Structures are given as C-alpha cells and as structure tokens.
Structure 1
C-alpha cells in the first residue's frame, strides 16, 4: 500500500508540473502575441494602388523630342521624400544618368512644376529631361483604435523637356499609415520598385529605356 501511495503522489506531482509548464507556455504565448500586437500598432506602412491615366508620347514624337539619356528628379510638391524614392527607381530600372532631388536643390531651385523651372534646371544640371511631381493628399484619419493615422495620397508625375513638351505622365494613389515608428525607407523603396517593375509595360516605361 505505501508503494502505491508514493506512485500516486509522484503521478500527481508530475501532473501538476506538466500543467504548470503548459500554463507558463500559455502565458509566454499570450505575452508574445501581446508584444506583436503592440509592435504592429506602432509600425508605419504604405500601400500602393494601381497606376492611372498613364501616357507616353508616340514614337515619332519621341524621336522629335530627342533621346532620353539623363533626367533630373525635382523635389515633389507635397511629398519630397517620394521624389527620392522615384530617383532610386529610375536608377535601378534604367541606364539613364539620374540627378536626385537633393542634388537638384543645390542649384537653388525651390519652386515646383513650372516650365521655367524645367528650363533652368535642365541647363544647370546638364540633363535631357526633368521629372516633376505633385502630391495631393487628404486629411489623415485615426485608425487601429486611434493608435495610427491613415492618409490617402495621389501622385501626379510628368516627364518633360526644357520647352515643356511632355514625354510621359502617370498618376499613382497610395495610402500611408503612420504609427509611432517611422517608415522603413529601404522597405518602401523596394516596394515601389517592385510595383513599378510589375507595371512597366502598361506605364510605357519600356519606351524610355527601362531594363526588365
């Protein structure tokens, strides 16, 4: 009888230890899920929509305007950081010489979207074409239980020469969700590059000398 009692006690102790271990693992799992939820609530993100109203000049018009060998990307009105991302996209997808927005500002340029600006910038930076962008956005709204702000933006892009002749244009809507953490710029640029590459043909970028 004593041996049986000892075995019962041992079994009971092992059972309690097992239950305790499961409880601890469950608590750790809950803590992990909670930490993931908090981190997600703090993370910022961006989502690109479909391109719209894309247009590229006809072959005979492109021939008249001249070969595109270099461009300068001007700071975009409404979202200067997006201009830097597009400069990175053109560097990666084309063999063009690309002058970045940060380099363009060294020429003392501060206005946006004017033909006179395109003329001046083209001469001073010695490029063939100027990429001008303008971003229109809506007022941010609270999301994710008020922990984030979400805002919809629409980018208007124009590639023109110094006389204001339009070679290419497109529009791109995107949504920015801002948390406590800043956007990961490397991640955003990769996402934009992937998005542009996937739609290069419909955008008419192949006519501008983009690589696959």
Structure 2
C-alpha cells in the first residue's frame, strides 16, 4: 500500500491556524483591554474565542493523529497483505472492540462546542429581547435548548459507558470463514438477565476497486 500523502494534513493545519490564532488573540484581548459590554458581553466573547481556539486546535491535532494512524495502517497492510483481519489491532488480538466504547467522549466534545456556540445567544440576545418584551425571545430560547439536549445526550452516554464498560467480543477461531460456525464470548458489565439475548454485529470488509 502506498504511504499516505502529507498534503492533506499540511493543508488542514494551515486552514486551522487562523482559527487557533484568532481565538487565542481575542481571548487575550478580552482580559487585557478594558471592556464596556459588561459581564454578559465578556461571557459571550470568551465563549466565541474558546470555540475558535478549540476548533482550530482540534483540527490540527486531528491532522497529525490522522496522518499517524494512516501510516500505521499502511504498515500493517504492507506486512499482512493477505490477512485483512490483522490490519486492526483488536482483531489481531482475537477480539473486536465495541463501536460505542468511546462514544461518550465524542458526545462531550460535541456538547462543549455546541454550548460555546450557543452562549452568545443566551447571554447577549436573550437579555436584549427580554428588555424589549420581544416575543422572538422564545425562538432564541428554543434554539439555545439544543445545548441542553447535547449535554443530556453526553450524560446518558457516560452513564451507559459506566454501566456496561468497554464491551468487546472474543473469538475462538480466527480468521472467521464465511458460512462456517463461529464461537466466542461477549465481554461487558451486565448485571441483569438478557431475556431476548444480545444482538452482535461484526464488520470486517475488504473492498477492492479496480478499473
């Protein structure tokens, strides 16, 4: 397999630098230059600055980590060209990790970024509309409630992870031959009886496109 190109990570890093630099600059300016907008304006400014900084920093980290993951994947494929189950570290160890083991982490990131985006509406627009008795405040409040929804979703994902832990399926035979019997064990924290059993879905696809 060809080595991954560096063009993508470099382009993404260059694209993200203005977000990171701009967010940090405005955050620095908020605490060094006297502000006349009051506490609500300060909260909104900090939220916007952090949002830009986190987005920029996150894109840069994703660019470097993604490139490293692609290089590692290419090395595994070159070392085991005819054994695609060895291209994943968990399958190579005779087990398959659950797809939602780290879902709560992504849910908290989404909730954090979403709330940072919504804070300016909540702390700037809502007070202004309330002072004018503008009924459009209900629309803004409804829009801001999305932050509550994202936070509740993240809390539920965390509770689910704490309840079941990092689930995975252990295989007895590997590789698994299509059409033949497969045996293994599902490992997770589950203190109740599953009356109707547990659904297990395994995905290991090797797709080759030619022409």
TM-score scaled by structure 1? 0.19
More strand by share: 1
Larger RCO, structure (CA 8 Å, separation 6 or more): 1
Greater gyration radius: 1
More helix by share: 2
